[in-house]
Amino acid sequence: MKNRLALALVVVGLMFILFVESKKLDPYKVLGVDRNASQREIQKAFHKLSLQYHPDKNKNKGAQEKFSEINNAYDILSDEQKRKNYDLYGDEKGSPGFDAGGPGGHDGYTYFTSGGSGQSGFNFRPGEWQNMGGQGSKSFSFSFGGPDSGKQSSYGFGFDDIFSNFFGGGMGGGSQFGGFSGSARSEHGRKQPAKSMPSVNSQLYRKEIVDNGMTWLLFFYTSNLRGIQYYESVIEEVGTSLQGALKVGSMNCESDASFCKELGVYPRREPKIFVYSYASSEKGSLVEYDGDLDVKSLKSFCQDHLPRFSKRINLNNLDATSEAGRLPRVLLLSTKKSTPVIWRVLSGLYRKRFVFNDAEVHDISDASVRKLGIDSLPAIIGWLSNGEKQILKAGISVKDLKTAIQELSGLLDNFEKKNRKVSSVKKNPTESGERDIPLLTTSNFYDICGEKVPVCVIGIFRSSATRDKLQKILQSVSQKSFSRRQNLTSGSRDAVSYALLDASKQQSFLNAFDKSGFRSSDKLLVAYKPKRGTYATSQGEITEEAAERFISSVLNGDVQFTKARQKPTLK
């Protein structure tokens, strides 16, 4: 019995030596954070130290080793389960079966456990450890499952079955050793991106990213690249600061190599960062980020690539920018010198459902603001497709970006519902009883000037003053009936539709009729027969009487029509 006890003490002594030699650095000390630090505090500490010791930026001796320590520490503390294991046992993989009072906080006791019932134990009180050649400053205990446990034991040291031979049978046919490893973690961890960064595959990319109006910050990597955790930390912090304005995702170019190749992304030496951007066109596209890898720079880059579908206007020219037709219009009034981030995000999400404008307002007392009926800023005004104005919200307060976007999205959804109701009872555009004369757009062109319409009369303008004048003239003329010859079978109100067209924005439309595009005319009327592809014009001074005579002549066949150079189209 004495020999057995002596052997047990020798084995414990050897294990203690191995543990001391392989003891890991305290991850809390490595990152310089308290044990109760939040994930946000841990992330900030990691980002700061990674930036300081990153091998690409710090060539000093020891920087590479320090960078590796920082990555390993962050790997433990950023993972909820690993951090819990470390706090409890001093090892991120769980209880290793041996602890000499390290960071796990067992007050100097070392534990050997097999998990079986009827455990036996050895307790070494202070002063008794000297018998094993120890330091005499710690207390230790270890226990093993009793002979009737019938279970495998876990010691975590890889010593084959020495304990089963020493203590006899009942160990369940051998020991299972794990949890302690003499091999160090690989330098860069080969760590997969955190769970907070969703994985993006080709199917999700095509379904949820392409042409959906939301900006994405995308992380492309392969597991053998260095610095993954550092990239990940920066991206996650940017994603958190712009939550609601963009989404974050990662793509593994090992498991989806063909799709990465299709996108033209090759992360060979280091991970790559792209933004799915709407900054340059209505169609989204991938734009690579090649700036400094820090939160401030990447965040600025992302903000620059948010959608730009809201047109900034001057309130004095408000009428000239309005667009009647099927799409309602919304206008944001704020004191910002440029389009606010929230409005840019919404203009991307709702770009196919609204016409977006925004304007800078210096003071609520401005005459242009009072005219709109606004009493506090920021404010959103909406125009239904029939021209009816509504104040959607004034005195907007923003708690955070994500909440604000959600609230304003609900506001736009409700306004869109109102517009549907208005549209459902709206008269056919070809009826001359229409109260407003619509602006010709791509969305209403077929209804107003499609081949089913015998004649569409278009009032061409180049200034807001001219537009207002033509609007009043055509509103009045459209209410009247005209004398026609007997061979005209359809009623006049069914034979003519009316619209306005902004020549300054649609010059190519006029070029389809005339090579000069009527550039010398400030205003004119064009009668267009879509089915035949012919047109006639009335230039010079346009009054209500002149317009009536022109339209009457068109209906009676007294005006000569000319073949259009090509079919007119709108931008």
CATH class of the 202-304 domain in this structure:
alpha beta
Q: What is the pLDDT of residue 119?
A: 41
The C-alpha atoms of residue 102 and residue 89 are separated, in whole angstroms, by: 8
This prediction's pTM: 0.50
Q: What is the pLDDT of residue 465?
A: 86
Classify each residue of 236-270 as buried b or exposed e, where b means 16 or more C-beta atoms within 10 Å of its C-beta. Answer: bbbbeebebbbbbbbbbbeebeebbeebebebeee
Q: What is the pLDDT of residue 571?
A: 72
The C-alpha atoms of residue 171 and residue 156 are separated, in whole angstroms, by: 15
| Domain 325-425 in CATH 3.30.1330.10 | no
Amino acid letter, residue 542: I
Cβ atoms of 409 and 346 within 8 Å: the answer is yes
The three-state (H, E, C) secondary structure of 387-432, written as one string: CCEEEEEECCCCCCHHHHHHHHHHHHHHHHHHHHHHHHHCCCCCCC
The C-alpha atoms of residue 393 and residue 411 are separated, in whole angstroms, by: 8
Domain ranges of the chain: 2-167, 202-304, 325-425, 445-563
The C-alpha atoms of residue 92 and residue 24 are separated, in whole angstroms, by: 11
Antiparallel, parallel or unpaired: β 311-312 and 285-288: unpaired
What values do phi and psi take at 416, rounded to 5?
A: -65, -35
Q: What is the pLDDT of residue 274?
A: 96
Cβ atoms of 141 and 165 within 8 Å: the answer is no
Question: Which residues make Cβ contacts (< 8 Å) with residue 251, sequence separation at least 6?
Answer: 199, 200, 201, 205, 218, 219, 220, 221, 259, 260, 265
Q: What is the pLDDT of residue 506?
A: 85
The tokens of 49 are what?
């130290």
Asked if domains 202-304 and 325-425 share a fold, the reply is yes
What values do phi and psi take at 199, rounded to 5?
A: -80, 135
The C-alpha atoms of residue 425 and residue 373 are separated, in whole angstroms, by: 27
Residue 262's Cα: distance from chain center in Å?
Answer: 22
Residue 173 backbone class (left: φ over 0; alpha: ψ -120 to 50; beta: rest): left
Question: Tokens 């094993």 map to which residue?
Answer: 132
Regions of the chain with pLDDT less than 50: 17-22, 97-191, 194, 320-324, 426-434, 483-493
* Domain 2-167 homologous superfamily, CATH: DnaJ domain (1.10.287.110)
CA distances to 448, 515, 568 from 530, rounded to whole Å, are 10, 19, 9
> So what's the architecture of 445-563 in CATH?
3-Layer(aba) Sandwich (3.40)
pLDDT in tens, 384-425: 887 788 999 999 887 888 899 999 999 999 999 998 887 765
